[in-house]
Structure 1
Amino acid sequence: MTSRETHDEIVLASDPVDLELAKVPTATGPPSPPKDSDPFLVAFDQPYDAENPQDWPAGRKWMVTDVLSATGFNRIMVSTIMAPALTTIAQEFNMNSTESAMSLSIYLLATAFGPLFIGPLSEIYGRQVILHTSNVWFLIWNIVCGFAPNKGVLIAARFLAGFGASAIYALAGGVLGDIWRPEQRGRSLGVYLLIPLLAAAVGPIIGGFMAARTTWRWMFWSTSIFQAAMIFVAFFSFDESFGALILRRRAQRLRKETGDNRYYTLSERQDGNRSTIAVLSRTLSRPVRLLIFHPIIQISALQSGFGYGLLYIVLSTFSELWTKQYGQSVEISGLHYIACSLGEVAASQIGGTLMDYLYKRQSARSPTPESRIPLLFPSMIISWIGLVLYGWTAEYRVHWFVVDVGVFVMLFGMQLAGMPMTAYVIDAYPEHTTSAMAAQQFVRSLLAFLFPLFAPSMYQALGYGWSNCIIALGSITIAVPLPLFIWKYGAKLRAKASSTY
């Protein structure tokens, strides 16, 4: 056992503060009815239950988190790996500029719609079966991309692969919410994000070298080999973490062993006598209802979606900046993506620690989900500074190192702002985290799909300096009032919106 695991075992098993936190309701939702008040209510034992994912040993929690992280790495890498090879692919398949851009960005379009179905299904059938199914689905269609005989097959297979890959966007928040307590949210998010954030840089770097030295098809064949290995690892190490499903299985076992059908769980009572079709209909429509009726989801989705769109503007135009403005080769241009990932990785590690520190400082005052919001404001200022620095240094072709510093600062601020917003959604929707994350991801992926479509024309017409200034101005008009609104009215909105779950 590593020192990290040993430390967490001690904290989780023997720290009286953690044991007390396990006994009382957190800010993430209403307390469950006392188990003693109804002998037939099947709930987790307090203060400790070995089957409760939040009471799992730390090593088991980190195993599940690491599997999610590695899965996210491959799926995000596939979204960007073909960027340096777009010119080569377009020539082979006789694609125009729109079709070429579509072959890259349609993957993101799929990640907008996939979570709307995948997230809710995980609240019925559990996280485990959905992860395994999506892994196999993604593998099949990623292999098809590698053997695509024409542009139509490539674009269609990219969409279907993205649909399977999108499961990670809904599942990650749900699983982390299943197994980690609110005071551990920052660190768990930081560890989960560490590997996937590297994918944004690794993808274009690998893609650049493959595009120059071998066939572009190896981009898909190599990631498919990695995905097959991940399926094998996940099958033996990813345990079911959805508490409601674990309790339903316990209730079914009790009813079978005792012959007494009065045993029930809270989720079964909420479903009542609804038919399977009615339950599926209500569950599958939940992300859409959250997006339509919940201002919290609308605001958080727009806030994070704008940042996600900016990220993909950078990812989709960065290689072209170095090849056209600075005259560098495709392989060397891909190395600059390291600055993007380093900024995000640094923010994820600093931000995770900072989030937990600020949360624990407020423990005596019963922190609410809204206590995550203040960290957004300094983060946004940092991202604006980086955005403007990147734009004007690129405009005047300042030394490449200064441009990379600007991108590093920009991505650092964006990631630092994104983490507390993700934690806020997890805290605010503990019972339906995957549906809430799916609703948020729909807007994020849609903006990430749309923003790169106009970015090249904007940079060509206005230049990098003024274009980034306009983007920063637009970001200010969105990023300042929306978090302030949530900070002030979030608690009231959460109390009023529960009926639309």
Structure 2
Amino acid sequence: MASSPVSNNGSDAITEATPTDIELARMTSYSKQDDNFIVTFAEPFDAENPKDWRTGRKWAVTDVLSATGFNRIMVSTIIAPALSTISTEFNKNSAESAMALSIYLLATAFGPLVIGPLSEVYGRKQILHVSNIWFVIWNIACGFAHNKETLIACRFLAGFGASAIYALANGVLGDVWRPEQRGRSLSVYLLIPLLGAAVGPIIGGFMANRTTWRWMFWATSIFQAVMILVSFTAFRETYEPLILRKRADRIRRETGDTQYYTLDERLHAENSAVRVLGRALIRPVRLLIFHPIIQIASLISAFYYGILYIVLSTFSDLWIDQYHQSVEISGLHYIAVALGEIAGSQICGKLMDSLYHRLKARANGEHAPELRTPSVFPGALLGPLGLFLYGWAAQYRLHWAVVDIGAFIAMLGMQITSMPLQAYVMEAYPEHTSSAGAASQFARSLTAFLFPLFAPTMYNVLGYGWGNTTVALIGLAVGLPAPLVIWYSGAKLRARAQPIY
């Protein structure tokens, strides 16, 4: 990477990039007298600036979001071991049974497209509270469903509320943590939610054998109710434009002078509230359609996210059908999946920060989102390697530990691949991190919904060996060239992209 374009034109990634809303407001002409009435954060330190908060408060906000994400993601997979039981009770076919699991993920594709922009109008805190309550209501309703139609509908509505975590995570982490802390903050934030996807089937396996499947929803709703109480006390507003608007309102009331304003207010001064909201709601769609870097980052992330849910949805069946283990024991193998993701997040957090500091120094101290890209490549090689080992070990029914090691390596690699891409999207769109995250999440959730639907057929036709080999080869074809495009052309693509208002 010594001759990388980022080291030569790291400044170009900033000077050529599409102006953000705040930068556009700064470029709007105003008189010198107006300078005295602009309400901004004080430099170099402002106690109300989320990036200047004490570390304890930053971690409190991050941890609340992380714990909430754990529960919402766990609910996506907890019913996997009970699908056969639910299918029998409701007389469902195999497609309808898979739909009960996947419909939740489909909702997480569309939810962020609405929730992300709303958080850039009304703030992160209010949206978090509303989505928490929405989610717990419909998750409880799932436990009371008495037919397959009601269960699927309630799962979709619960997933819509749960999707707020995907919309808010990028925004909140971007609000409170600086680029130099990106790797550590992401690794700590992801530590608990990553457990959720893998722990869900483990808990579900034991509950499926020892109680009714309905308690899977009621138990997670009780946990969510506790998190609602915690979020009301520990979560603070982090969205900078909203914090500054409240400061400007306070100054206007105290002084009686209506000339005070924020840059965000100036930018939208001539727009009605309806127009501002309308622009916000179409922002993720515009990003997804017109911004190549969102498309490229989404393509890579979506593919590996879909593979994750292939593993999560079929892993239990492998142990039950091929190794003839009980439902409870089959769930324990998800520990390998969880450990792989956790190890990947912790390794990648340190790798990201270390490479970032090194590449930033090489680029004469200039920050550029493309500096995150090199961290992708180790994972792009490890992920397919793990899938290959897992597939052929399962095909020949080698010792269970070999299969689990393959799954561990696959999850390790996929996590190392996805974290830098998440950081890249956050830093490429600093003023609209939630909308950019929502655009990226759309493709991820679609693959998480669709891939498990064809996975059983793929394994029945190709077997675990050739099935995973096919997926691994596609992973190499997607996971290596695409980051190179971002590395060499990311700054130019951002500069040519349409402005986001």
What TM-score results when the alignment is normalised by the length of structure 1? 0.93
The 5-angstrom pairing of residues 51-450 of structure 1 reads 51-364=48-361, 365=364, 366-450=366-450
* Per-residue deviation, residues 283-310 of structure 1 (Å, max 9, x unmatched): 0000000001100111111110000000
Aligned to 1:456: 456
* Per-residue deviation, residues 58-101 of structure 1 (Å, max 9, x unmatched): 00000000001100000000000000000000111111111111
Runs of 4+ in structure 1 deviating by more than 3 angstroms, as ranges, are 27-37
SS at match of 1:285: helix
* Per-residue deviation, residues 21-50 of structure 1 (Å, max 9, x unmatched): xxx99x997786599981111110000000
1:399 partner amino acid = H
CA distance in 2, matches of 1:317, 1:379: 22
Deviates more, 1:278-287 or 1:261-270: 261-270
1:136 partner amino acid = I
Cα pair 1:115 1:438 within 8 Å, conserved: yes
Deviates more, 1:156-165 or 1:37-46: 37-46
Cα pair 2:143 2:218 within 8 Å, conserved: yes
* Per-residue deviation, residues 323-349 of structure 1 (Å, max 9, x unmatched): 000000000000000000100000111
Alpha-carbon deviation of 1:489?
1.1
Distance 1:36 1:372, change over 3 A: farther
Alpha-carbon deviation of 1:474?
1.4
Distance 1:37 1:256, change over 3 A: closer
Q: Alignment identity in percent? A: 68
Aligned CA RMSD, in angstroms, stands at 1.7
Cα pair 1:293 1:500 within 8 Å, conserved: no
Alpha-carbon deviation of 1:259?
2.1
Cα pair 2:19 2:499 within 8 Å, conserved: no
2:232 partner amino acid = F
Structure 1, gaps ≥5 residues long: 1-23
Distance 1:200 1:110, change over 3 A: same
Matched, 1:47 2:44: yes
CA distance in 1, matches of 2:474, 2:347: 27
CA distance in 2, matches of 1:475, 1:37: 54
* Per-residue deviation, residues 403-422 of structure 1 (Å, max 9, x unmatched): 00000000000001111000
Deviates more, 1:353-362 or 1:280-289: 353-362
CA distance in 1, matches of 2:493, 2:261: 30
CA distance in 1, matches of 2:34, 2:355: 36
CA distance in 2, matches of 1:222, 1:323: 25
1:405 partner amino acid = I
Distance 1:198 1:36, change over 3 A: farther
* Per-residue deviation, residues 440-491 of structure 1 (Å, max 9, x unmatched): 0010000110011111001001100101111112122222221111111111
Cα pair 2:290 2:498 within 8 Å, conserved: no
CA distance in 1, matches of 2:133, 2:19: 34
* Per-residue deviation, residues 77-133 of structure 1 (Å, max 9, x unmatched): 000000000000011111111111101100000000000000000000000000000
Cα pair 2:291 2:498 within 8 Å, conserved: no
CA distance in 2, matches of 1:456, 1:249: 53
CA distance in 1, matches of 2:156, 2:198: 22
Alpha-carbon deviation of 1:496?
2.3
Matched, 1:483 2:483: yes
CA distance in 2, matches of 1:164, 1:480: 34
1:80 partner amino acid = T
CA distance in 1, matches of 2:55, 2:205: 39
SS at match of 1:51: coil
* Per-residue deviation, residues 387-433 of structure 1 (Å, max 9, x unmatched): 10000000000000000000000000000111100000011000000
Cα pair 1:28 1:430 within 8 Å, conserved: no
Alpha-carbon deviation of 1:361?
2.0
SS at match of 2:499: helix
Distance 1:36 1:188, change over 3 A: farther
Deviates more, 1:154-163 or 1:350-359: 350-359
Alpha-carbon deviation of 1:272?
2.6
Distance 1:29 1:361, change over 3 A: farther
* Per-residue deviation, residues 355-400 of structure 1 (Å, max 9, x unmatched): 1111122333213100100111121101111010000000000000
What TM-score results when the alignment is normalised by the length of structure 2? 0.93
2:437 partner amino acid = M
Distance 1:119 1:386, change over 3 A: same
2:417 partner amino acid = A
Structure 2, gaps ≥5 residues long: 1-13
CA distance in 1, matches of 2:71, 2:359: 37
CA distance in 1, matches of 2:80, 2:351: 34
Alpha-carbon deviation of 1:271?
1.2
Aligned to 1:473: 473
CA distance in 1, matches of 2:477, 2:268: 42
Q: Count the aligned residue pairs.
A: 477
